[in-house]
Chains A and B, each alone.
Chain A
Amino acid sequence: EAQVTQNPRYLITVTGKKLTVTCSQNMNHEYMSWYRQDPGLGLRQIYYSMNVEVTDKGDVPEGYKVSRKEKRNFPLILESPSPNQTSLYFCASSLAGSAETQYFGPGTRLLVL
């Protein structure tokens, strides 16, 4: 089944404790992206990757890192999480080398205490 998977789905952590949210797609998509979703603010793009070893900042990249060492995986790294990073995070991927027709993962709900 073609899908985007994220792990973990739910995470509670404390300020300053490094964490990684994994994202994997099995559709051989070139494009992958991370978003955060907050009440009243819609989805905001954090980082995106047009292909392996190619990443770019979205609208809200501060406090986040990403890497794209292989096509199927695009982990989101929070080196020193803060409470304002409490949010619902979505990973997405697209066949085309752009933001078109993205397929979204199920989401990761993060709470930073």
Chain B
Amino acid sequence: GESVGLHLPTLSVQEGDNSIINCAYSNSASDYFIWYKQESGKGPQFIIDIRSNMDKRQGQRVTVLLNKTVKHLSLQIAATQPGDSAVYFCAENDAGGTSYGKLTFGQGTILTVHP
């Protein structure tokens, strides 16, 4: 999961395993959440999003779960592949409030997939 400090959380998995990346968000008013993937030397790339009126959303090989009670977000990647190795960021937005243009990112989790 996310943590404060200079050392990013890391997750190492074997190719073919399922991966779960966690994120704790801070703003109880946030009502829109996004997961981004960032490969080395590139900008973040959108993976999947979810609004606060949902608790689960599925994409291709990815599922995002939202638990508003404990302000927790997770990204599940099925059948993880070496190409999934990257840093994963969650981001939160108060889309219904006055700051709907602001996006706050977590510090990221490093996913390493071993062949």
Instruction: Identify the A interface with B (CB < 8 A).
Output: 4, 31, 33, 35, 39-45, 48-50, 56, 58-59, 90, 92, 98-107
Contact = CB atoms under 8 A, between A and B. Distances in A.
Interface string B90-114: 0101010000111111111000000
B44 interface: yes
Contact of B107 (A31, A42, A49, A106): A42
Given A40-B107, A42-B107, 5 more contacts: A43-B89, A48-B103, A56-B101, A99-B91, A99-B102
Contacts of A48: 101-103
Contact of B95 (A45, A92, A100): A100
Contacts of A33: 101, 103
Nearest to A58: B102
Q: Which among A56, A58, A90, A98 has the greatest number of chain B C-beta atoms within 10 A?
A: A98
Given A40-B6, A40-B107, A42-B106, A99 B101 contact: yes
A98 B101 contact: yes
Given A98-B93, A107-B43, A42 B105 contact: yes
A104 B102 CA distance: 15
Contacts of B6: 39-40
Interface residues of B, number: 26
Contacts of B34: 100-101
Contact of B49 (A31, A49, A100, A106): A100
A60 to B, nearest CB: 11
B93 A100 contact: yes
B7 interface: yes
B101 A90 contact: no
28 contacts: A4-B43, A33-B103, A40-B5, A40-B7, A42-B89, A42-B105, A42-B106, A42-B107, A43-B89, A44-B105, A45-B102, A48-B101, A50-B101, A58-B102, A90-B43, A92-B43, A92-B44, A98-B93, A98-B95, A99-B91, A99-B95, A99-B101, A100-B32, A100-B49, A101-B34, A102-B46, A104-B43, A104-B44
Given A99-B93, A100-B32, A100-B93, A43 B102 contact: no
